[in-house]
Copies of this chain bind each other. A is one copy, B any other.
Amino acid sequence: MVQAKIPVGILGATGMVGQQYISLLNDHPWFEVRYAAASPRSAGKKYEEAVAGRWQLAKTYAAHVGSIIVEDASNVSRAVEAFKKGGCSFVFSALEMGKDETRALEEEYAAAGIPVISNASAHRWTSDVPVLIAEINSDHTDIIPLQKKARGWDRGFIAVKPNCSIQSYMKPVHALALAGYLPQRIIVSTMQAVSGAGYPGVPSLDMIDNIIPYIGGEEEKTEKEPLKIFGSIDNGVFKNAEFPKISAHCNRVPVVDGHTACVSLEFAGKKPSSMDEIKAIWAAYKGLPQEADFPMAPKQPIIYRSEDNRPQPRKDRDTDKAMAVVVGRLRPCNVFDIRFTALSHNTVRGAAGGGILNAELLKHKGFLN
């Protein structure tokens, strides 16, 4: 017998990440979009009307989603009603409000019994909220029972994903750490796609015959979030790792999708014996998503390309449902130990796809029943 799909809601359903969620969930085997909420401007309209002229993706949305009546995201009671009728088991949050409002609203959903799996940055530094990259720190979901208990929430909770800029190089670094080669210092320079800024986002006058050597707040996120992800749970809250120390230069370049990172890495102690050993470690790297065969999981999280001139955003970003990290140019670093270039699709792996993978992890662990 076919298992009924779990009904999910999307907060911020009409924005770019919301659209990406809806598109990626078109044929998902476990989840089905049944609830969509956005700003008051869209509330009351059919989804297809709310996104008319604003749909940004080449792939369209499922027909049944087009006729969903969009709710006001700030009206949590509507989601609770939907939940009671079996129409919204949990929500993906792709809210694009201010940080404080987002933080409060996500808590309101959780308190009302609706688990929130969020792309927003609001709760990344909340001490009992896990920042999940499913291959790396799937054990960080252990904090959820503690979070619920501390907050007095019965069914709801909050789990988030990190910033898109770190997706490309965190897994290669993690793979090496797992193999005993601990990262001590990293200097990274990113070339980030414009879709990361949403729509309308970056003006075209800034991206024709030009690059912008600055993205507000991005370097701080790139430097700090890995320390929480590599950290541990201590007495009900997260304790950051001390290493690696990261210094980031974040740049905006005229690319639609796909963030590229040039990484120089120094190990803390033991060093790999050769570049080939590192490539072998990356090729063998797997996490829970691969072991448990989650629908959204890339078969191989790290793909190494041996050509000199890869990875390239347009040619490599869609590798394995746009969920794999593509790495190339591994070579010794003149200053640190090694250097390489890594690429990740920022609105799939780095946003909605990563969120769905987190939801799959949470369902696998029994948090979304």
Interface string of A38-80 (1 = CB under 8 A from B): 0000000000000011001110000000000000000000000
**A200-B205, A205-B195, A247-B335 as given contacts; A213 in contact with B314, CB under 8 Å:** no
CB-defined contacts of A310 to chain B, threshold 8 Å? 213
Which one of A29-37, A249-257, A284-292 is at the interface? A249-257
Which 8 residue pairs are nearest across A and B when measured between Cβ atoms?
A189-B189, A249-B262, A200-B203, A247-B334, A204-B207, A247-B335, A209-B209, A210-B314
Interface string of A222-243 (1 = CB under 8 A from B): 0100000000000000000000
**A58-B314, A309-B53 as given contacts; A194 in contact with B210, CB under 8 Å:** no
CB-defined contacts of A307 to chain B, threshold 8 Å? 52-53
Q: Does A315 contact B (CB under 8 A)?
A: yes
A341's partner among B213, B247, B253, B254 (CB-CB below 8 A) is B213
Closest partner residue, chain B, to A244 (CB atom): B335
Q: A339–B262 contact, CB under 8 A? A: no
Q: B314–A187 contact, CB under 8 A? A: no
Q: A208–B191 contact, CB under 8 A? A: no
**A interface vs B, CB < 8 Å?**
52-53, 56-58, 185-187, 189, 191, 194-195, 199-214, 216, 223, 245-249, 251, 253-256, 260, 262, 264, 307-318, 328-329, 333-336, 339, 341
Q: How far is the CA of A36 from the CA of B7 in the complex (A)?
A: 48
Q: A256–B309 contact, CB under 8 A? A: no
Closest partner residue, chain B, to A306 (CB atom): B52
Q: A212–B315 contact, CB under 8 A? A: no
Q: B256–A209 contact, CB under 8 A? A: yes
Q: How far is the CA of A209 from the CA of B194 in the complex (A)?
A: 10
Could you pull out 22 A-B pairs where Cβ atoms are within 8 angstroms? A52-B307, A53-B307, A53-B309, A56-B315, A187-B336, A189-B189, A189-B249, A201-B205, A202-B203, A202-B204, A208-B209, A208-B254, A208-B256, A208-B314, A210-B313, A211-B255, A213-B262, A213-B328, A245-B335, A246-B334, A247-B336, A247-B339
Q: How far is the CA of A205 from the CA of B309 in the complex (A)?
A: 14
Q: How far is the CA of A191 from the CA of B334 in the complex (A)?
A: 19
Q: B204–A203 contact, CB under 8 A? A: yes
CB-defined contacts of A248 to chain B, threshold 8 Å? 334
Q: How far is the CA of A195 from the CA of B262 in the complex (A)?
A: 22
Q: B213–A255 contact, CB under 8 A? A: no
Q: A189–B262 contact, CB under 8 A? A: yes
| Max count, chain B CB within 10 A of own CB: residue among A195, A312, A333 | A312
Q: How far is the CA of A187 from the CA of B314 in the complex (A)?
A: 26
CB-defined contacts of A309 to chain B, threshold 8 Å? 53, 212-214
Write the nearest CB–CB distance from A54 to chain B, whole angstroms: 10
